[in-house]
Structure 1
Amino acid sequence: MVRKKSPGKARAKIGARRVPMREFSRSLPMSLLRAREAVMRHFRASLRDHGLTEQQWRILRALASVEMIEVTELARTAFLLAPSLSRILRDLEARNLIERKVAKADLRRGLVSISAKGFRLMETVAPSSEAIYSAITRRYGARKLARLQAMLHELERSLSELPGDGAASETGQ
């Protein structure tokens, strides 16, 4: 009996090429993206239950830690590109979760803050979020998680000293 190869496997073999670099699956950006996906998989349902996307939650989290912030600084802080941030801010403002103002000193500068309603929503989501963090900590281990966060912070700090374009990225590619 002759076995036929599945079309997907045949295409993968035909398209495979040897490139003089590490395997795609072993690249640092892909490893970080896979780890991020593994973590975020646990948070998405909770955010969805509260009518939030990951990016909206990221913005609310960033805004909750400051009194007010410039839009360009918020984009850097939340690692979002300006066009995406603009759309997300419109959505959050329409839901009265944030407040936007124009800087008096420079009318071109937009300022953003979390509203009382946005803060109340965060207080509603927080217990679920903290329960997920606790489950991740139990599963992975508190010491290992603390070491991982320290290592990631150190990696970020050491790479910030290298030349680069410094542009915010939504995907980390």
Structure 2
Amino acid sequence: MPSTFKHRNLPHLFLSAREALMLRFRPVLNEAGISEQQWRVLRILSDTDSLDAATLAQQAQILAPSLTRMLRGLEQAGLIQRGADPTDLRRQVIRLSTQGRYTVTELSPRIEAIYQELEQAIGPELLQAIYDKIDRMIERIQQP
């Protein structure tokens, strides 16, 4: 039976690629007791001083209600600190706590080792090309 579609299922390909990648990262995160979504939040916060909740939700690709629940748990675990934005008290800013920075620092060599294995498996040129092409695709798709 011929396909009714001209193009391959790109969203499904990205999901398959994500799953293939996460198979490598999941054991490290599970051992640390951190979910994939929590790691996204910690990793994003490790690259910045602080972020407001809306920006963090957007960058981590987590729905705001889910992020709110997750932040509560991360705060109780001592991994983040939350506070009012000094310039706008209605907004909440989130930052890594000392324990959160320590956790990211402790996990980063193992995470980086996985990236090194990936780079060896597919080659540095292909890995860089993937980064570049995905960045370009996102830019073009998001243009009005």
Query: C-alpha separation between the residues in 2 aligned to 1:120 and 1:138?
Result: 28
SS of 2:88 mapped into structure 1: coil
Q: For residue 95 of structure 1, what is the aligned residue in structure 2?
A: 77
Query: C-alpha separation between the residues in 2 aligned to 1:123 and 1:55?
Result: 18
Query: C-alpha separation between the residues in 1 aligned to 2:75 and 2:14?
Result: 32
Unaligned 5+ runs, structure 2 = none
What is the CA deviation profile of residues 23-70 of structure 1, one whole-angstrom value per residue up to 9, with x for unaligned ones?
A: 7xx311111111111111100000011110111111011111111110
Query: C-alpha separation between the residues in 2 aligned to 1:55 and 1:88?
Result: 9
| Structure 1 or 2: more strand by fraction | 2
Q: For residue 117 of structure 1, what is the aligned residue in structure 2?
A: 99
Query: More relative contact order in 1 or in 2 (CA 8 Å, sep 6+)?
Result: 1
Structure 2 letter corresponding to 1:157: E
> Is 1:53 equivalent to 2:35 in the alignment?
yes
> Is 1:154 equivalent to 2:136 in the alignment?
yes
Aligned residues: 144
Computed over aligned residues only, the root mean square deviation of the Cα atoms, in angstroms, reads 1.7
Q: For residue 111 of structure 2, what is the aligned residue in structure 1?
A: 129
Quote how far apart the aligned CAs of 1:20 are. Answer: 4.1
| Structure 1 or 2: more helix by fraction | 2
Query: C-alpha separation between the residues in 1 aligned to 2:90 and 2:36?
Result: 28
Query: C-alpha separation between the residues in 2 aligned to 1:81 and 1:106?
Result: 22
> Is 1:69 equivalent to 2:60 in the alignment?
no
Matched residues, percent identical? 35
Query: C-alpha separation between the residues in 1 aligned to 2:6 and 2:52?
Result: 40
Query: C-alpha separation between the residues in 2 aligned to 1:97 and 1:61?
Result: 12
TM-score (norm 1): 0.78
